[in-house]
Amino acid sequence: MFYMEVTVTPDELARLFHDTYERLAPRHGYETREDSAVPWEAVPEENRALMVATAAEVLAEFQRRGLLTKIDPSNA
């Protein structure tokens, strides 16, 4: 298993996931919906809030498993 120390907020993780997913989707034969295939800033607020909440829970689970030592709560 690979461990590294990182500092990331839930918002940063959600944005990175979104941007990476949109970039990789076509390479995997997947075409995303037109309303979600937009830059992070243009993602509807409701969708962004869901992705940030999901990222916060993923980070909390990583912490619970001992994969992270702390979470930046500034944007949780």
The pLDDT value recorded for residue 1 is 64
Q: Does 36 reside within a domain?
A: yes
DSSP code string of 5-73: -----HHHHHHHHHHHHHHHGGGGT----TTTSS-GGGS-HHHHHHHHHHHHHHHHHHHHTTS-S---G
Q: Does 14 reside within a domain?
A: yes
Q: What is the pLDDT of residues 24-64, one digit of tens each?
A: 999 999 988 777 788 999 999 999 999 999 999 998 898 88
Q: Does 39 reside within a domain?
A: yes
The pLDDT value recorded for residue 33 is 79
Q: Does 3 reside within a domain?
A: no
pTM over 0.95: no
Domain coverage including residue 46: 10-75
Q: How many domains is the chain partitioned into structurally?
A: 1
Q: Does 1 reside within a domain?
A: no
Q: Does 32 reside within a domain?
A: yes
